């Protein structure tokens, strides 16, 4: 009976933040059919611009850190796809896109740095996460300021079509990795809680890890 009560208690403290985390971080990467250009852009930027303080709190465990780093990588990759779609539209108009491509390259360098940090997932990951996220926001802001005056209403419709047809396999793979790290993070938290309570339940922990 005592074991059952412990399990129920753990489930209560685990499920609520788990659902909240999913709602706030798992953006639908396919739903762009009916969005106007500004909404697409705003949605992606908001994904990069989530509350950093709340995200950092999740980085106290190795799996929590990897999860947040992967989420940031996914957000930046999604923004890069959008930026590339903008460049394609501008190129078709005969615009000079050199500066736009330079900004995309800067974003891709941030992705490379994120991957290096994610491989370690140590205490320095938090500082890197905050800095890379800020750098990504700054690049996006500059890109917007350059692109907006050049895009007409017709261009924006072309942009929606361009963005809608972009290959998102990398984003889908990152989403799978994020879900895996979330499960491992939850298992890690529960295992530590059980240890503090002087209890253990390997089967329960394995069930959390396996989803």
At residue 44, φ and ψ (nearest 5 deg) are -70, -40
Contact 171, 29 (CB under 8 A): yes
Crossing angle, helix 37-48 and helix 153-164, to 10 degrees?
60
- Rounded Cα distance, 9 and 198, in Å: 15
Closest CA to 179 of 209, 203, 154, 201: 209
Q: What is the pLDDT along the chain (211 residues), one digit of tens a residue?
A: 445 445 545 454 444 354 344 434 443 323 333 343 455 555 555 555 555 666 666 677 778 888 889 999 999 999 999 999 999 999 999 999 999 999 999 999 999 999 998 877 667 788 888 899 989 999 999 999 999 999 888 888 888 888 888 888 889 999 999 998 888 888 877 777 777 777 766 776 777 767 6
In sequence order, which residues have a C-beta less than 8 Å from that of residue 77 and are 6 or more positions away?
A: 111, 170, 171, 174
End-to-end, the C-alpha distance of the chain in Å comes to 24
- Rounded Cα distance, 104 and 133, in Å: 15
Is 0.85 topped by the overall pTM?
A: no
E strand segments, the chain: none
């Amino acid at each position: 009976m005592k074991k059952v009560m412990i399990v129920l208690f753990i489930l209560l403290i685990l499920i609520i933040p788990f659902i909240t985390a999913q709602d706030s971080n798992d953006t639908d990467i396919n739903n762009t059919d009916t969005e106007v250009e500004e909404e697409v852009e705003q949605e992606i930027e908001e994904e990069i611009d989530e509350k950093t303080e709340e995200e950092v709190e999740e980085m106290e465990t190795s799996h929590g850190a990897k999860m947040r780093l992967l989420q940031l990588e996914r957000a930046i990759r999604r923004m890069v796809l959008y930026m590339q779609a903008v460049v394609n539209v501008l190129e078709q108009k005969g615009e000079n896109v050199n500066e736009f491509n330079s900004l995309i390259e800067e974003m891709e360098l941030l992705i490379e740095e994120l991957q290096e940090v994610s491989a370690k997932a140590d205490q320095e990951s938090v500082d890197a996460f905050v800095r890379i996220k800020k750098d990504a926001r700054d690049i996006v802001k500059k890109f917007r300021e350059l692109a907006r005056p050049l895009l007409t209403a017709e261009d924006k419709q072309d942009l929606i079509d361009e963005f809608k047809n972009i290959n998102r396999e990398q984003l889908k793979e990152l989403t799978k990795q994020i879900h895996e790290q979330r499960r491992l993070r939850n298992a890690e938290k529960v295992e530590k809680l059980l240890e503090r309570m002087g209890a253990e339940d390997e089967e329960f922990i394995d069930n959390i890890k396996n989803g």
